[in-house]
């Protein structure tokens, strides 16, 4: 190679485009992969919240004349809540068996005794959720009248697949908690 040929090779920019692409394309690929997996996480979070909302709505719709503090929901509606959560999760392609109750959760009870509401587990549908009945919804001391209702809560695991980062195979527990006023 002559000196003139070497100078021409040094001043041409054909090889720099390949080098720039080799540096930029992996970064763009990781960015797109991150957008996809965070979008899936958001979709899963929205789905479990929608399932909890529908379960709370159906549980709160039916009043109970024999409940101790007014219009609490029927205990049979706990099974309806479990079936609703199962249907919503299955419709979105999520496994209802992976739902789990939120550990160490305290929900204030409605009524003169106060205390904590108990977790009612459905016997059918998705049995891994907690349906709380006769829940105190506005627990501020300044409120004159207490609103009673229901609360539905559970958590669902989500695992990232994001190679070459610290997020690869990390598992998050996405939590869904919904409260709704009991209907008359």
Predicted local distance difference test score (pLDDT) of residue 98 = 93
CA distances from 23 to 20, 30, 117, 126 (A): 5, 12, 57, 48
CA nearest 55: which of 71, 79, 30?
79
Distance CA 181, CA 56 (A): 9
Predicted local distance difference test score (pLDDT) of residue 169 = 82
Predicted local distance difference test score (pLDDT) of residue 141 = 55
Predicted local distance difference test score (pLDDT) of residue 133 = 84
Residue 162: count of CB within 10 angstroms of its CB: 17
Distance CA 134, CA 176 (A): 19
Question: Where would I find the H helices in the chain?
Answer: 3-11, 14-61, 77-91
Predicted local distance difference test score (pLDDT) of residue 71 = 45
pLDDT in tens, the chain (184 residues): 566 666 666 666 667 888 888 889 999 998 898 899 899 999 999 999 999 999 999 888 765 544 444 444 445 578 888 999 999 999 999 999 999 998 888 888 887 777 888 888 888 777 789 998 888 886 555 555 678 888 999 999 998 887 777 777 888 899 999 998 877 5
Length reported for the chain: 184
Domain boundaries, the chain: 12-181
Half-sphere exposure of 130 (CA within 13 A, CB side): 23
3-state secondary structure of 100: strand
Predicted local distance difference test score (pLDDT) of residue 66 = 46
């Amino acid at each position: 190679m002559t000196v003139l040929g070497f100078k021409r090779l040094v001043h041409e920019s054909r090889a720099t485009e390949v080098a720039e692409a080799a540096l930029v394309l992996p970064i763009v690929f990781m960015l797109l992969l991150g957008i996809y997996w965070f979008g899936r996480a958001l979709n899963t979070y929205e789905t479990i919240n929608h399932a909890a909302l529908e379960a709370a709505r159906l549980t709160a719709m039916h009043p109970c004349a024999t409940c101790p503090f007014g219009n609490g929901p029927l205990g049979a509606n706990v099974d309806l809540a479990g079936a609703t959560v199962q249907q919503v999760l299955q419709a979105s392609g999520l496994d209802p068996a992976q739902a789990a109750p939120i550990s160490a959760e305290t929900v204030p009870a409605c009524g003169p005794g106060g205390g904590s509401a108990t977790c009612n587990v459905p016997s059918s549908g998705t049995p891994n959720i907690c349906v709380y009945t006769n829940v105190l919804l506005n627990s501020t001391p300044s409120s004159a009248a207490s609103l009673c209702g229901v609360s539905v809560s559970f958590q669902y695991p989500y695992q990232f697949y994001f190679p070459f980062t610290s997020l690869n195979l990390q598992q998050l527990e996405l939590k869904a908690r919904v409260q709704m006023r009991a209907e008359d």
